[in-house]
Amino acid sequence: MITHLLQSAPSILDNDFYKFTMQQAVVRLFPSAMARYSFINRGKHRFPEGFGSALQERISEMAKLRLTNEEKNFLKINCPYLDPLYLDFLAGYRYDPNEVNIVQNGTDIDLHIEGHWYRSILWEVPIMALICELYYEMTDGKRISDEMLIDQTVVKAKRFQSLGVNIAEFGTRRRHSYHVQKLVIDTFNREGRKTFVGTSNVHFAMLHQTKPIGTHAHEWFMYHAAVYGFPQANATSLQHWVDVFRGDLGIALSDTYTTDVFLSQFDKMFSKLFDGVRQDSGKPIEFADKIIAHYNQLGIDPLTKIIIFSDGLDYEKVARITDHCRGKIGFSFGIGTNLSNDVGLEAMNIVIKMTQTRQENGKWMHVVKLSDNPDKNTGNADMIAAAKTILNIEQ
């Protein structure tokens, strides 16, 4: 079992970059905050007998992972906004498997994470990657060969390169396996140098000596909504981000409480200070038009800003978005499952989301997300209804 683990999680940096950037912000601003996360099986996948115990065993092995001196030096050189105090903290960080509880009921998995937010924040992505890898192992899914995977990745790289666009790999959380993700990134980096700009996976970014890509995720805004109230959630989240990173990591996630609500608080100061926004739900062309109109209304040239598109992308979507946005606004793409899990098997549709937070000596509070795509809404139903009422969201 350890052999499998070392293949799927060889490094504590085998995680999305925004988990580390958010962790620094949480350590700095909210060291006493607690968090709970839950697994959501959107695809109704049926897990085989013994899956829960096998997953728990692999998670237990993660306690052995630690930041090496080489990894610390990589972060110090390539990510100067990660301060020395945080890097020293990360060097001493160890996963605590006691924060993760797994129960298997037939073919269903009940998985919950609970702990201080600054600690539990790192679990989500590697656990999702482990779930996917273990699922394909235990269901004996027959993927395409390495040779076929390399060939199709070469074709993808050449097609994206022909569009003259920037592509980043965002596929860690739902990858087929560590091996497949590594092979895809290696191939894309070699064959698509004019289009491939890097990866959100910090471990693979280090292997290729490139800067990791990412800023923050929905949970950053969800926490702020619970603590500071829905009307102030976006503005307070952005201000706290600026307080920590002072202008670095300037791509703002826009759809935690719908893009329309976000833009109502993305005023001229924030619009000038942040380099751009990330689109993660809804219709990308409509989103682009909204963002362009927003910048124009504020007297900001949209061509000085950028949209990172990252929602379920493939070549056809990228081509349509490119054709629409070129000459109007800067744009780039983060592609996940279509790169890291396009192997001839059904890609898993799973998420792990923050569900509650608690302040020191306080009560647990529900956190929710109201996406531009209502199917992606997550959280307590009563709290979702309250948020819609308070924010005048009609879905």
What does the pLDDT look like over 78-126, one tens digit per residue? 999 999 999 999 999 999 999 999 999 999 999 999 999 999 999 999 9
Question: How distant, in Å, are the alpha carbons of 63, 92, 150 from that of 85?
Answer: 22, 11, 41
Strand-by-strand arrangement of the 196-199 sheet: 196-199, 167-169, 330-335, 306-309, 276-279, 251-253
Say yes or no to pLDDT of 274 above 80.
Answer: yes
Is 146-340 a CATH 1.20.120.1760 domain? no
Same fold, 2-141+347-370 and 146-340: yes
Mean pLDDT of 364-381: 95
Using DSSP's 3-state secondary structure scheme, residue 13 falls into coil
153 pLDDT band, cuts 50/70/90, is very high
List the one residue out of 312, 306, 256 whose CA is nearest residue 283. Answer: 312
CATH annotation of 2-141+347-370: 3.20.140.10
Tell me the per-residue pLDDT of 224-255, one tens digit each, with 9 for 90 and over.
Answer: 999 999 999 999 999 999 999 999 999 999 99
In the chain, % of residues over pLDDT 70 = 98
pLDDT average, residue stretch 39-65: 97
The residue-averaged pLDDT of 333-339 equals 96
Top pLDDT among 177 and 7 is at 177
Q: Which residues contact 336 (CB under 8 A, 6 or more apart)?
A: 169, 170, 171, 173, 174, 310, 313
Q: What are the strands, taking DSSP E only, across the chain?
A: 34-40, 100-105, 108-116, 167-169, 196-199, 251-253, 276-279, 306-309, 330-335, 351-358, 365-366
Token code pair at residue 147: 């040779």
pLDDT(4) > 80: no
Domain locations along the chain: 2-141+347-370, 146-340
Strand partners, 114: 36
Res 10: pLDDT? 83
pLDDT for 1 beyond 70: no
- pLDDT in the model for residue 65: 97
| pLDDT band at 7; cut points 50, 70, 90 | very low
Say yes or no to pLDDT of 5 above 50: no
The pLDDT confidence band at residue 273, using thresholds 50, 70 and 90, is: very high
| Neighbour count for residue 308 (Cβ, 10 Å) | 24
What pLDDT shows up at residue 8?
47
- Higher pLDDT: 4 or 353? It is 353
* Per-residue pLDDT band at 380 (split at 50, 70, 90): very high
What does the pLDDT average to over 44-53? 98
**pLDDT band at 3; cut points 50, 70, 90:** very low
Most distant pair of Cα atoms in the chain: their distance: 59
The pLDDT score that the predictor gives to residue 311 is: 95
Integer Cα distance of 50 and 328 in angstroms: 53
Q: Say if residue 2's pLDDT is above 50.
A: no
* Half-sphere exposure at residue 177, Cβ-oriented, CA atoms within 13 angstroms: 21
Task: Please say whether the dihedral angle defined by the alpha carbons of residues 280, 286, 292 and 296, taken in this order, is positive or negative.
Answer: negative
Whole-model pTM: value is 0.96
In this prediction, residue 395 carries a pLDDT of 84
Mean pLDDT of the chain: 96
Q: Does 216 have pLDDT greater than 50?
A: yes
